[in-house]
Amino acid sequence: MTPRISISLPIDSRRVAHDFYLNALGLRLVGEPDEDGMPEPLQFALGAETRLVLIPAGGFEWVIGANRLALDGRSECLLTLEVASEDEVHRVFRNCVEAGATAINEPRQEDWGYVAMIADPDGHMWMIAANLE
């Protein structure tokens, strides 16, 4: 059996997270809708064997233990979305900001590729990148 990997992140609002990841990043929802019309748990396919699971902060802390969440304003991981071109970096960056993300770094050339940085509505850091070396 190929192992399945789940990346879980704490969120404040299921609806805000649902709308952001569905509309801004175009990720595919996984699971049957619950009473609120969204899968429970709220999860998106990142590939055949990888899921992004978004858990309300109270439930997340219940799983990992009290006082283990990152402090407000601090990130413990960087997620990267690799896209096909510099134009695609600009398009995804704009979509994310219009959907409620905070722009961290505008699209630009770096030594390792053409990248932009955003924080999703819950503060999770994303790099949008093309031409990674």
State pLDDT tens for residues 21-68. 999 999 999 999 999 999 999 999 999 999 999 999 888 888 778 777
Give all strands (DSSP E) within 2-132, no chain letters. Answer: 5-11, 28-30, 42-47, 50-56, 78-82, 102-110, 113-119, 125-130
* pLDDT given at position 94: 97
Q: Which of 48-52, 69-73, 96-100, 117-121 has the lowest mean pLDDT?
A: 69-73
Give exposure, 49-59, as e/b (b: 16+ Cβ within 10 Å). Answer: eebbbbbbeee
Number of domains in the chain: 2
- State the pTM of this model: 0.84
Confidence band, pLDDT 50/70/90 cuts, at residue 20: very high
Where does a domain end: 40, 64, 88? 64
Separation between Cα atoms, residue 49 and residue 55, nearest integer Å: 19
The domain spanning residue 117 has which CATH number?
Answer: 3.10.180.10
In a domain, 69, yes or no: no
Phi, psi of 5 (to 5 degrees): -110, 135
User: 50-56 and 5-11: which strand pairing?
Assistant: parallel
Q: What is the residue range of 101's domain? A: 78-130
Residue 55 lies in a domain: yes
- 117, 126 in Cβ contact below 8 A? yes
Whether 60 and 82 share a structural domain: no
Greater pLDDT, 3 or 93: 93
At residue 75, the pLDDT reads 67
Let me know if residue 71 belongs to a domain. Answer: no
